[in-house]
A and B are shown apart, each in its own frame.
Chain A
Amino acid sequence: MIALLDPVPEPLRKKIETVRPADEEELIRVYGDMDDRLRFGSRWVVVTGRRVLVVPTDGLDGVVDIPFEEMIGARTETLIGGGRLEIERKDAPTVSVAYSNSEAAKFSEVTRGIEQLRKTEPFLVNIYRDKTRCDRCNRLLPEKNGRCPACVRRLATLKRISEYLGPYKGRAILLAVISVLTTLAELLPPLLTLRIVDDALAPTDAGARDTAARLSLLGWLVLGLFGLHFLSAFGAWARGWIVSWLAARVTADIRSQLYRQLELLSLQFYDNRQIGSIMSRVTRDAGMLQDFLVDGLPYFFVNSLLIVGIIGFLLTMSWSLTLFVLVPVPILIAWGAFFWKRMRRYFNKWWVYWALLTAGVNEAITGIRVVKACAQEHREIEEFERRNRATQAVGVDTDRHWSLFHGTVAFVTGIGVIIVWLLGGFQVIDGSLTLGTLLAFYSYIWLIYGPLQWFGQLNTWMTRAFAGAERIFEVLDTAPEAYEDPNATPMPDMKGRITFRKVSFGYDKSKPVLHDLDLDVQAGEMVGLVGKSGVGKTTTVNLVSRFYDVDHGSIEIDGVDIRKIKLEDLRRQIGIVLQEPFLFSGTIAENIRYGRPGATFEEVVAAARAANAHTFILLKPDGYDTHIGERGSGLSGGEKQRLSLARVILHNPKILILDEATSSVDVQTEKQIQEAIGRVASERTTVAIAHRLSTLRNAHRLVVLEGGRIVEIGTHQELMDKRGAFYNLVQLQQEVASIIEVKE
């Protein structure tokens, strides 16, 4: 049983129970988050099979009980910042429940549900609602149903990212070793300068050694400094060398894995997402991971080592001074924690605004012809301007806080240095510390700066990289189409008999498009699907290709459930010609070969001939080697269609699906394409959809769909004799088509 039930606080549940008749089950229980006067304050809407109850959160009164028989209808009304559910009653004023924009989608479903129940239609509502806010922290999500960047599971993600290093363990270990050595080489110089100052330049026992000895000592020590420096430079270079290799490998691995997964995901995945957002996972998010791996992970180790090492040296030199120097650290941490929360909010907000801006640009540029035809450039610009300035304001705010944060961190750490001079100065004066030690101390403090600041930024890094990683993992974790199902039946040679058994399906399960479809298509038969638009014709053929799986019932090919057939075998033997042919950039020959990359040139030409495409191809400057642009730009609609037909012919499927294959071409081209289709369809099972019934003249049987059900099946003649739905369609069409002849 589907039900749309929001969790309800205990006292309110009791209250609802007092007003709801005990024998009626709650089907919908949602809250509107604003009260009548558009102030925040929630009211609950409870729907049973017989009535709607509107229950205010506070107080016992004010419950409105509306039995369905007293209702005229329910509808939603959009208001600024929110909307209103209006329930019109027969003898009483209309009841309305206000809600904010974030609840609009939910209430649209609620309204639908109430209407379904009232009209005693099957109760089907969509209980999967687009998530726009994070469940845990309630922040606005950067994309619908997306990941909340603030609530990423860090450790788990880190572990999973590190797994990508697995295949390159050897290099990773080498990298770690070099990092440790380099760090050591970077830590030692202050100890040498300590010796330089105390023993060579300003020894406390001046005069104990002569100038020449001090000079040669100085020379040796400086040489040592130089050696260490050389080592650390060499180490840095070696580290870079390995890291570049490693990071590029790992990123390429991730990208490749991600892309393969994307190719294998079902169309359902693509239906719900924008192409841009999918692409950015492969480009941007994978790039962020690379950044993290190049600059993040290795420095994490190096810097941790540095900090530990430096603190160790400091403690051995003077533990009391070290403690004083570390005084600002807790302040720093507290400050960071406090600020970080706010920063995250700012970043998030900025991200949302930025996404909005990009989406707007994308749409306006894609639809530029419409914009221009309607002369709405100025309006689009205003819209853009508003978003642009809003993004700017948020961006400036974010960066300002960022710079304040940074400045303050630098300041607080700077206090450490002052403490060294003051307290260290005291110790030098009373002789408990040598000048050289103080200077080494000072150098170490400087050295520790860099890593500390780096750790300050670590959070940003990690957040961004991890959010990207999570988006990538989301794709990887989505179940792909069952290409690799080991239990699938191989079917390299199908005959092409298609059987629908009580098939029901809806893209959204709550809105079925097909109801209990039963149909048996013989091998080699041509069946025409006829019906109004939106009646489920395209859905039917989508199911045959198994782009989607049926909700109920089954589809069988040669008596085997298609869910059990090896997907690759299935698709290899189904050819589809769509209304809007999609061609890839490349040569004409490459496009025809698409379904069968190894085809010989002769086969390509034969297929092109069969598709009536050969002649126009030869007229192109480079014949079959003519380059066509992105999505076949540079070809006319008819040409594209014929190429896609040739592509299918070469593919040589057992089952051919024609989805409005000729509706967007002119008469002459249509005739040519029809001829070609006639040739192709003759020895294959063909399922054809066409608005122009004439296209279906070759069909053995016609299937007339209405409201997702089959209403008539039969040969053309049988259906015409029935004088039913099909007859009406034909009549209508002839009426339209014959007008020219009448005028003659």
Chain B
Amino acid sequence: MNPFIETLPEKIAGKLRHAKPEDETVRIQVLTDMNMERRFGEHWVVVTDRRVLLIPDDGDDGTVDIPVDEIAEVKVEPLVGGGRMELERKIGESANIRYSGSLAGKFSEVAAGIRQLTKGEELTLPSHIEKTRCDRCHRLLPEKDGLCPACVRKGATFLRILTYLKPYRSRVAAMVALVVIGTVINLLPPLIVQHIIDDVLTPQDNISLLFWFTGGLLAAQLAIWGIRVGRGWITVWIGGQVAADIRSQLYHHMLFMPVRFFDKHKVGTLISRITNDTERLEGFMMFAMPHLFTDGLLVVGILCLLLVKSWTLTLFVLLPIPFIVLASFFIWKRLRRSWGRWLAKWARLSSHLNESISGIRVVKAFAQEKREGLRFDRRNQELRDASIYVDRMWYIFFTATNFLMSFGVFFVWYFGGRQILGTELTLGGLMAFISYLWMLYDPLQWLGELNMFLSRAFAGAERIFEVLDKEPERAEAMDALPMPDMVGHVAFRDVSFGYDRARPVLKDISLDVRPGEMIGLVGRSGVGKSTLINLICRFYDPDRGGIEIDGHDMRNIRLADLRRHIGMVHQESFLFNGTIAENIGYGKPGAEMDEIIRSAMAAEAHDFIVGRADGYNTMVGERGNKLSGGEKQRIAIARAILHDPRILILDEATSSLDTQTGKKIQEAIARLVKGRTTFAIAHRLSTLRSADRLVVLDDGKIAEVGSHEEVMEKKGIFYNLVKTQQETTAVIGVGGGKDAVPA
């Protein structure tokens, strides 16, 4: 569905027919949420290829028609709590459209679209706008495109959680049995007490009976203890098991998600799904669910008993219930809303925290600690106020229901007392009745809290399921082609691709790379070099066209096989916390120590490794932070060598190294490249000296291809690049000093 074509109400559609010439098709049709006077009120913006129409929602007049060729400029300006799109006309005053903050992203795209039209370019609009508010309740979402905690579908989620219990059916059955028996036994003591009062205490006689009754109480108590421990034993096991199952399923699924998925989500939120959300779910399974069940049974059981004992009294007891339902209905809605607000504030606070702590060097370098502190304080205060509000609402809710609920007891004391005086009821009966009442209130009170608990657990569960429901990368055909051996012939066939489909980064790329050939990718930054490489690794799939390896479309090759034959050396080498040997062996688990050492030698890393006290067992620290950039890089190269790929990708592999280590690494890379199909990106064109062919990219297209001499002779883009580079590198040969500052 195109987010830029919204459905028009009939009235406006009529107006539009009136204002728009028949033959123009509508390209954009969106609704603002503020009118010109900044009061809320709807206002339609309709854009065709030739004109922009602004149609107010109410009244018949006021439609503004601005032909595209009369527009001088389109500007977007952020205002407090919203923004303004300004259409500047060549003649006459400019037209303004206002919108609230939630629509800012959308209107920035609309403005870009109108701008494209005025320049006579093709209209490209993104196919997806990030959601910041819930569609249903319009509340701010805790994370972009996230789930609204207030609109969680509880029933469906609950059923889905239940499906995870299936493998443990027998244990669940045992638990249910224990719960049922436990509930029945729980109902016994008040009955025994009733008899103690009526048969022993009121007549003040029958000591032997007293022994029997207290013995009974003791037996009941023992049984309750046993069942409780047994139930705990089982539920804890089930809860832990299911949570671990979900966690591992989630992690499994996540690792196989396409890279696009990781582009879209912050690392922190992904991790919290695996840790926090599953933890909540575990809490739910272990505590809330059994409680829900027990308490539900208990409530039913007690109500039955009460009705049997005295239905008139029971009716009195039930009197406050409609009031409670009514009150909770009112308060609950507000509580949920403020809970959502709290969550959003919380997310803001922690994202600020994350950012300023990760960027602490920059904060310090600019001496901005105080300002960061002030910004934090503001968020902190907002969070504080939100949390006071939520807590207070909660207390009101809690005390009010509590108060209403225990009303029943007073009725019972009074009317029950009257019945005793009229000898319709015994004192023991009344006491039992009151005991049952208290037992009834306990779970009911808990039910109020349960809702909060459920909301949290279910929101967590939904977030988990959201990930689980996304298509993983492995969504390849069952008959995907195994490719245990690869020759390394890579062919691009009219490949087009954009991270957002509407904005292609690569356009109709066709290229045939022979096995063992080394291709140098050249071009300015942002021209699509890294994108091309991402496509070869199949981190993304092309939008149009296809990439073939050894004559097979890549999408048909088993992904694991494909990646096993592709090796990468990045500019920023990511190492895992572990020993050097583990990191080198990362791509080939089970590699012999000999192999590891040989690859380290080939990567010129052996010497510095053995120079360390712990040699190959040196711990590299988190992300390799105990090693220098050059050392990390060499280990990454050793990792690639051991991985022994058929297709090798060098993404700026040497740019962050000084010359001396740089040269060593060059040699190591030269050794690595030999006999492999290689794609290399380097800003320093010299790195590409050994490339068989250079591919010069410009504006997402291949501008020049050929050997170094061929592209130089063309005197085109590459020639210019080399020229500039020679200018920059040659200066030092000419002599240092400030006179060399270029104009």
Contact = CB atoms under 8 A, between A and B. Distances in A.
Given A225-B413, A374-B643, A417-B217, A425 B201 contact: yes
Contacts of A361: 251, 271, 274-275
B203 to A, nearest CB: 9
Contacts of B353: 259, 279, 282-283
Contacts of A639: 525-526
Contacts of B430: 201
A278 interface: yes
A365 B267 contact: yes
A42 interface: no
Interface in B179-225: 193, 196-197, 200-202, 204-205, 207, 210-211, 213-214, 217-218, 221-222, 224-225
B376 interface: yes
A94 interface: no
A373 B236 contact: no
B692 interface: no
A435 B197 contact: yes
Contacts of A368: 255, 259, 262
B628 A534 contact: yes
Contacts of B196: 421, 425
A256 interface: yes
B689 interface: yes
Contact of B630 (A404, A415, A417, A533): A533
A694 to B, nearest CB: 4
B271 A365 contact: yes
Max chain A CB contacts within 10 Å: which of B205, B243, B362?
B362
Contact of B732 (A283, A392, A697): A697
B365 A716 contact: no
Nearest to B387: A248
Interface residues of A, number: 193
Nearest to B633: A533
A197 interface: yes
A647 B367 CA distance: 13
B39 interface: no
Contacts of B726: 741
Contacts of B78: 625
Contacts of A377: 255-256
Given A76-B613, A236-B399, A698 B413 contact: no
Interface string A59-83: 0000000000000000111100001
Interface string A713-737: 0011100000000000110111111
A740 B686 contact: yes
A171 interface: no
A692 B657 contact: no
A595 B369 CA distance: 11
Interface stretch (A134-142, A157-165, A173-181, A566-574): A566-574
Interface in B656-709: 656-663, 666, 683-686, 688-689, 708-709
Contacts of B373: 256, 259-260, 263
A698 B658 CA distance: 18
Given A418-B221, A671-B724, A218 B659 contact: no
Given A255-B380, A363-B577, A669-B524, A698 B741 contact: yes
A255 B383 CA distance: 11
A372 B392 contact: no
A743 interface: yes
A240 interface: yes
A630 B266 contact: yes
A263 B685 contact: no
B248 A248 contact: no
Interface stretch (A7-15, A307-315, A335-343, A658-666): A658-666
Contact of B427 (A435, A660, A691): A435
A736 B659 contact: yes
A348 interface: no
A448 to B, nearest CB: 14
Interface in A20-37: none
Interface stretch (A108-116, A319-327, A456-464, A553-561): A108-116
Contacts of A584: 355-356, 359, 362
A585 B214 CA distance: 70
Interface string B549-579: 0000000000110011011101110101101
Interface string A211-241: 1001100110110011001100110110011
Tell me whether chain B's interface is mostly helix, strand or loop, or mixed: helix
A244 to B, nearest CB: 3
Interface stretch (A43-51, A267-275, A498-506): A267-275
Interface string A376-412: 1111110011001101110110011011101110110
A582 interface: yes
A19 interface: no
A668 B685 CA distance: 11
Given A196-B417, A660-B656, A422 B214 contact: yes
Given A226-B410, A582-B358, A483 B369 contact: yes
B267 A362 contact: yes
A366 interface: yes
Nearest to A534: B628
A191 interface: no
A279 B357 contact: yes
Contact of B614 (A108, A193, A531, A738): A108
A534 B630 contact: yes
Interface in B317-359: 349-351, 353-359
Interface in B242-284: 243-244, 247-248, 251-252, 254-256, 259, 262, 266-267, 270-271, 274-275, 282
Nearest to B564: A375
A425 B402 CA distance: 33
Interface in B110-166: 111-112
A400 B418 CA distance: 48
Given A108-B613, A399-B236, A670-B683, A576 B365 contact: yes
B491 to A, nearest CB: 21
Contacts of B657: 533, 691
B228 A410 contact: yes
Contacts of A682: 738, 741
Contacts of A234: 399
A407 B662 contact: no
Interface in A466-525: 481, 483
Nearest to A246: B388
Given A201-B421, A263-B363, A374-B563, A697 B221 contact: no
A294 interface: yes
Contacts of B391: 240, 243-244, 247-248, 294
Interface string A668-705: 11110011001000100000000111101111101000
Contacts of A735: 663
Contact of A408 (B225, B360, B380, B655): B225
Contact of A374 (B396, B420, B587, B615): B587
B737 interface: yes
A485 to B, nearest CB: 14
B85 to A, nearest CB: 11
B383 to A, nearest CB: 7
Contacts of A547: 361, 364
B380 A201 contact: no
A729 B663 CA distance: 10
Nearest to A366: B267
Contact of B236 (A202, A230, A396, A567): A396
A531 B685 contact: no
Interface string B512-552: 00000000000111100000000001010000000000000
Closest 9 CB pairs of A and B: A403-B232, A240-B395, A716-B736, A244-B391, A375-B563, A571-B367, A252-B384, A411-B225, A392-B244
Given A244-B391, A263-B363, 7 more contacts: A361-B274, A365-B270, A377-B255, A396-B236, A428-B204, A585-B355, A664-B571
8 contacts: A75-B615, A226-B410, A274-B622, A415-B221, A578-B362, A667-B725, A678-B741, A696-B732
